[in-house]
Amino acid sequence: MNELVSLKGIVKHFPGVLANDNVDFTLRKGEIHALLGENGAGKTTLMNILYGLYRPDSGEIYIEGRRVEISSPKDAIKLGVGMVHQNFKLIPSHTILENIILGLKEVGFIINYKKISEEIKKLAESYGWRINPNAYVWQLTAGEKQQVELLKLLYRDARILILDEPTSVLTPQECRILFQALRRMAGEGKGIIFITHKLDEVFAISDRVTVMRKGKVVVTKETSKTDMSELAQYMVGRPILFTIEKKEPKPSGEAIIIKNLKAFNDKGVLALKGVDLVVMKNEIVGVIGVTGNGQQELVEVIAGLRKAAEGSILIDGINIVNSSPDRIIKLGVAYIPPEPLRYSIAPNLTLVDNLFIKAYRYKPYSNGILINWKKVYKKADELVKNFQIISPSLFTKAKSLSGGNLQRLILARELSGLIGDRIPRLIVAAYPTKGLDIGATEFVHKTLIEYSRKGSGILFISEDIEEALMISDRVAVMHDGRIVGIFKPGEVDIEKIGLMMAGVQGASTI
């Protein structure tokens, strides 16, 4: 039997959404199969069905030709199906070994650490990974954590591996190590499903590719028989331009000057170790780096949400370090935070409430005590139109808007000059396109570029190097709480950027 997995006619409804509409999917022995699609296309739903997290409304699942019912991840693991989620599900305070054997019945009552430790080491080495099974998970890099997640599955003899956007937390070098290991696994006859929305990855790793759009499979093809623009068209349903036109910037005065900024993270560890950075008006400065190297802390200090230990941030000549968020907002700093649903959106409140979550207290929308809802609604109608927010009404709850519409809502709120009736002096955008589909990403890019040419300074945090190179006027690389290099796109090759992101000594001297 050549087919490891065969899904036939899978249908899954969620309230108001048809997440999977009669989906067929096959995975062959020894192949790496890319599952490509925009956010909300139904890829993760389909894989959650295969992994037993959801039950399909109808449809059949065959594993190695046998009809099966998978009603929990336990069933799935028994059948040899394993999944590595986007967010790692490891226990940081336990060792690698403990994480791997957790929940494993075969281990028995008395654990033979020595034997298991040897087994894990051998298993890891067979994929070219060097790990110490007794190291604690909190000591590991993102790439190593992912290796542990994979080892967990391999140690359970999984033959079908599902990886949900596995490269989103990796440096280019770590990606290469991962891809090599995946190749080796495929060579052993395992089947690998690689969920992604990045086209270049499809060509870097996969044998076949299945494209999903709006819950349906659009096409399944040999990767060698297609190209990027064809896949993009399948994915979005229309042709996509891969470059953005933008005029040369005319920097005029500083939007923000950051000097020797130091700050602690939530665990009390110094996360910013002296950041120096200047963003001019009319300019986009992209900050790239592996997530967790101080980017989050940097944007939070600028927005007034985190105390700085040392250093200064000058906006319009005023030092805003440790000022209240309200004061910083009034100075014209717009902040697009990461994870909108957690940080900047109140999911149970309406669209209009969320649009005015900052502006409600300023003139002309409030006289200091009452809110003038009439004016609010009128302005909201205008913003919905200008920023192309698609919603049944102004009073739709924010949580039922799609990711792209939420980001439009945030852009409308932050950029449209609701406060003080002028465009922002500085826009801090942290991962503003993370999780968005191609269309929405395009909109965000265009909007940011448009505002930078109108006069805003933009600090753009991204973990996607290509994206940062594409839209930034200058790119800064952040590593271990410092800016380790600043250059213009095109000045430095991607290989060197990767080394800088990984913190390799000497890489930052261009």
Partner 1 sequence: MTVVDVAKTLTIPYIIKIQKRLYYSRRLSILTTFSAVIIAFGVAGLFFTIIGLNPLEVYSYIGGVFASPTLLLESFKRAIPIGLAALGLSIAFRMNFWNIGAEGQMYMGMLASTGIVLLHVYYGLIPDYFVLLLMLLAAFFTGGLWCSLPAFLKAKMKVNEILTTLMMNYIAMYLADFLIYGPWRDPKGYGFPLSVPFPEYSKLTIIFGEFAYGGLLLLCLTAVLVFTILKYTKLGFELKIVGESIETARYAGINLSKVVTVGGFIAGGIAGMGGLTIVSGIIGRLRPRASPGYGYTAIIVVLLSALNPWLIIPVSIFFGGLFVAGDILQATLRIPGAAVEMYQALIFLFIVIGEFMKRYKITITRRVFG
Would you tell me the crossing angle of helices 142-155 and 172-187 to the nearest 10 degrees?
10
What is the smallest separation between the CB atom of 24 and partner 1, expressed in angstroms? 19
Q: Smaller CB distance to partner 1: residue 318 or 371?
A: 371
What is the smallest separation between the CB atom of 25 and partner 1, expressed in angstroms? 18
What is the smallest separation between the CB atom of 370 and partner 1, expressed in angstroms? 5
Q: Which of 2, 24, 71, 118 binds partner 1 (CB under 8 A)?
A: 71
Please tell me whether residue 226 adopts helix, strand or coil conformation.
Answer: coil
What is the smallest separation between the CB atom of 414 and partner 1, expressed in angstroms? 11
Helix (H) or strand (E) holding 487: strand 482-487
The span of 51-59, 227-235, 279-287, 485-493 binding partner 1 (CB under 8 A) equals 51-59
What is the smallest separation between the CB atom of 78 and partner 1, expressed in angstroms? 12
What is the smallest separation between the CB atom of 105 and partner 1, expressed in angstroms? 15
What's the CA gap between 49 and 59, in Å, rounded? 11
Please tell me whether residue 111 adopts helix, strand or coil conformation.
Answer: coil
What's the CA gap between 121 and 126, in Å, rounded? 9
Q: Could you give the string, one character per residue 302-321, with x where binding to partner 1 holds by CB under 8 A and - elsewhere?
A: -xxx----------------
Number of residues located near partner 1, criterion CB under 8 A: 40
Half-sphere exposure of 396 toward its Cβ, with a 13 Å CA cutoff?
17
Q: Which of residues 191-230 bind partner 1 (CB under 8 A)?
A: none
Which residues is 36 bridged to in the sheet? Answer: 196, 211
Q: Smaller CB distance to partner 1: residue 424 or 498?
A: 424
Q: Smaller CB distance to partner 1: residue 328 or 483?
A: 328
* Cα-based angle 460, 464, 469 (whole degrees, multiple of 5): 65
Neighbouring CB atoms inside 10 A of 189's CB total 12
Tokens of 404: 């792209």
What's the CA gap between 193 and 32, in Å, rounded? 6
The answer to whether 21 and 216 have CB atoms below 8 angstroms apart is yes
- The H-assigned helical ranges of 237-359 are 295-303, 325-330, 340-343, 351-355
Q: Smaller CB distance to partner 1: residue 67 or 183?
A: 67
What's the CA gap between 68 and 430, in Å, rounded? 43
The span of 64-72, 164-172, 440-448, 479-487 binding partner 1 (CB under 8 A) equals 64-72
Q: Which of residues 329-388 bind partner 1 (CB under 8 A)?
A: 329, 335, 337, 342-349, 353, 357-358, 360-361, 366, 368-371, 373
Please tell me whether residue 478 adopts helix, strand or coil conformation.
Answer: strand
The answer to whether 288 and 475 have CB atoms below 8 angstroms apart is yes
Is 86 among the residues that bind partner 1 (CB under 8 A)? no
The answer to whether 212 and 36 have CB atoms below 8 angstroms apart is yes
The answer to whether 131 and 95 have CB atoms below 8 angstroms apart is no
What is the smallest separation between the CB atom of 453 and partner 1, expressed in angstroms? 27
Q: Could you give the string, one character per residue 121-150, with x where binding to partner 1 holds by CB under 8 A and - elsewhere?
A: ------------------------------
Q: Smaller CB distance to partner 1: residue 172 or 325?
A: 325
Tokens of 324: 């209240």
Q: Could you give the string, one character per residue 10-49, with x where binding to partner 1 holds by CB under 8 A and - elsewhere?
A: ----xx----------------------------------
Q: Which of 1, 2, 24, 55 binds partner 1 (CB under 8 A)?
A: 55
Name the residues that contact partner 1, by CB under 8 A: 14-15, 52-53, 55, 66-69, 71-72, 303-305, 324-326, 328-329, 335, 337, 342-349, 353, 357-358, 360-361, 366, 368-371, 373
